[in-house]
Amino acid sequence: MKVIDVFVDELDLGRLGFERVEPKVAGRPAYNPSMLLKLYIYAYLNRIQSSRRIEREAQRNVELMCLTGRLMPGHKTISEFRKDNSQAIRGVCREFVVLCQRLNLFTQALVAIDGSKFKPVNNRDKNLPRAKMKRRLVDRT
């Protein structure tokens, strides 16, 4: 949690393209984008995707209360933040990868993921237990 706090505080949110970084003079002040970004990153790392679930977590989770300064934005605010700042959030992800590279947290291993999808088939004719497999191998030789 503290890592998220320090990481977001060190980012230049204006340069990354976040909206409403500078508060307007008139009207009610908006939520600080850095607070909403901290909330979003925490939710992402904890596999909370729904804006309504993030809202509930901000109301009940003590870690989130500390992270957000006990502010509890509604699901619509969270959803609009995500929608309005999608490109900027991608920029934050890039910054995080660059930071990890500078700290040598990545190895040089490459991983390739293929998007192929196959229909699984596990019927009696294609499911071969070890003994049946050995018999078939012996029959072929």
Give the chain's domain count: 1
Which structural domain, as residue segments, surrounds residue 10?
2-102
CA distance 82 to 31: 13
Global pTM reads 0.72
> Is residue 118, in this structure, part of any structural domain at all?
no
**CB contact burial 91-103 (16+ within 10 A = b; e otherwise):** bbeeeeeeeeeee
pLDDT digits (tens, 9 = 90+) for 18-54: 988 888 888 888 899 999 999 999 999 999 999 999 9
> Is residue 130, in this structure, part of any structural domain at all?
no
